[in-house]
Amino acid sequence: MILSVLSSLVLVSGLMVVRAKNPVHSVLFPILVFCDTSGLLLLLGLDFSAMIFPVVHIGAIAVSFLFVVMMFHIQIAEIHEEVLRYLPVSGIIGLIFWWEMFFILDNETIPLLPTQRNTTSLRYTVYAVKVRSWTNLETLGNLLYTYYFVWFLVPSLILLVAMIGAIVLTMHRTTHGAVKRQDVFRRNAISFRRTIMRRTTDPITR
Amino acid sequence: MMLEHILVLSAYLFSIGIYGLITSQNMVRALMCLELILNAVNINFVTFSDFFDSRQLKGNIFSIFVIAIAAAEVAIGSAIVSSIYRTRKSTRINQSTLLNK
């Protein structure tokens, strides 16, 4: 029952992202989608992923988009006159997509339509849980930090590049002169023991 | 019973994301639909790994990387949208059809 409630919320919110008139609403509805996705992951028993999804998706991604939307004056009323122009070709492509998906989805292991109801649905028994029950965090760490640690370090470099790129892209022309720079060779030539400072104002007696 | 429900849900989210990405005039809405697409792919990977790979959870590990790439792409996308808005003062996509206006 909880699955149906969460799934229907996801369905409605996903549709409202596209059809919302206000662009701020189309940034707020994916927050609802991410919350319900995290609830779905909790139902699956993956607690770590269910906690990481709100932290990253809502706390970082949706907040960044809210900053972008709030800073700019985005026109509220969108004219939907262009939607019907794409409808014949996109409708055919969408129908082909869904038709192919029904070939994959409607087989014995994944029964969708009532045509495959003679075979009982497979019951999945996970025997690894009965021997020693690992948490989600333990299983992820067992692979991620031992065998695939290079794969783990590469996204950190990608995030570093993204951070630097975001700063470089938004450096306005007027902030070019105001951004403080350092001269590397001068900074290396300064040494503490050879520096004599002359103080011109007395800080106590002013 | 839960596997196919979640798979159909992720397929539906993917379709809605592609539809919104292609037919949206607003740049911020297109980027948000891209996040929907990545979320649907994450659900798919995580569900398959939970049902069929309970010992190693390789799909779950891949979904961690997808989340990291999505966060990086959000930063760069927001920076690009900010720069475009600063020069053109509007966020409509169909105004960007000419190379140098």
Q: For residue B2, what is the domain's CATH number?
A: 1.10.287.3510
The closest of B6, B46, B32 to A53, measured between CA atoms, is B46
Determine, for residues B76 and A60 on separate chains, whether the beta-carbon distance falls below 8 Å.
no
Domain range for residue B21?
1-92
Least CA distance to B15: which residue of chain A? A94
The pLDDT score that the predictor gives to residue A49 is 93
pLDDT in tens, A46-102: 999 999 999 999 999 999 999 888 887 666 555 555 556 667 777 788 788 878 877
Q: Flag whether pLDDT at A120 surpasses 60.
A: no
Topology of domain A1-73, CATH = Four Helix Bundle (Hemerythrin (Met), subunit A) (1.20.120)
| Neighboring chain B residues of A46 at a CB cutoff of 8 Å | 46, 50, 60
A108, A119 contact by CB (below 8 A)? yes
Residue B101 domain flag: no
Cα gap A137→A160, rounded to integer Å: 25
Q: Higher confidence at residue A131 or residue A193?
A: A193
Structure tokens, B25: 């005039």
- Residue A109's pLDDT band, with cuts at 50, 70 and 90, is low
- Residue A200's pLDDT band, with cuts at 50, 70 and 90, is confident
Angle at which helices B2-22 and B27-52 cross, to 10°: 160
Whole-Å CA distances, A117 to A109, A122, A192, B80, B97: 11, 12, 82, 51, 52
The pLDDT score that the predictor gives to residue A69 is 85
The reply to whether B88 touches chain A by the CB within 8 Å rule is no
% pLDDT > 90, chain A? 26
Determine, for residues B57 and A139 on separate chains, whether the beta-carbon distance falls below 8 Å.
yes
Residue B39 domain flag: yes
The pLDDT score that the predictor gives to residue A76 is 54
- Residue A121's pLDDT band, with cuts at 50, 70 and 90, is low
The reply to whether B4 touches chain A by the CB within 8 Å rule is yes
Determine, for residues B82 and A68 on separate chains, whether the beta-carbon distance falls below 8 Å.
yes
The pLDDT score that the predictor gives to residue A108 is 56
Residue B99 domain flag: no
Residue B30 domain flag: yes
Structure tokens, A140: 């992820």
Q: Flag whether pLDDT at A160 surpasses 90.
A: yes
Average pLDDT over residues A152-158: 95
Cα gap A111→A121, rounded to integer Å: 7
Q: Can you tell me which residue has the tokens 């992202």? A: A17
Whole-Å CA distances, A86 to A81, A97, B26, B63: 10, 16, 16, 32
The pLDDT score that the predictor gives to residue A20 is 82
Structure tokens, B2: 């839960």
The pLDDT score that the predictor gives to residue B74 is 94
Q: How far is B34 from chain A (nearest CA, A)?
A: 11
The pLDDT score that the predictor gives to residue A123 is 63
Q: Flag whether pLDDT at A103 surpasses 90.
A: no
Q: Flag whether pLDDT at A7 surpasses 80.
A: yes
Give the residue extent of every domain in chain A: 1-73, 137-171
pLDDT in tens, A170-183: 887 666 666 667 78
Q: Flag whether pLDDT at A142 surpasses 80.
A: yes
Least-confidence region, from A84-93, A131-140, A141-150, B26-35: A84-93
Domain count across chain B: 1
Phi then psi for B26, rounded to 5 degrees? -95, 135
The closest of A48, A50, A49 to A6, measured between CA atoms, is A50
Mutation target vs B (from A43, A47, A72; most B CBs, 10 A cutoff) = A72
Q: Can you tell me which residue has the tokens 């991620």? A: A144
Residues of chain B scoring pLDDT < 50? none
| Neighboring chain B residues of A33 at a CB cutoff of 8 Å | 13, 36, 39
Q: Flag whether pLDDT at A118 surpasses 60.
A: no
Residues in Cβ contact with A17 at an 8 Å cutoff, skipping those fewer than 6 apart: A26, A29, A30, A33, B16, B20, B29, B32, B33, B36
| Neighboring chain A residues of B88 at a CB cutoff of 8 Å | none
Instruction: List, as ranges, residues 5-44 from B with C-beta within 8 Å of A.
Output: 5-9, 11-13, 15-17, 19-20, 22-26, 28-29, 31-33, 35-36, 39, 42-43
Determine, for residues B46 and A101 on separate chains, whether the beta-carbon distance falls below 8 Å.
no
Structure tokens, A41: 């992951």
Cα gap A182→A49, rounded to integer Å: 42
- In total, the C-beta contacts within 8 angstroms joining chain A to chain B are 192
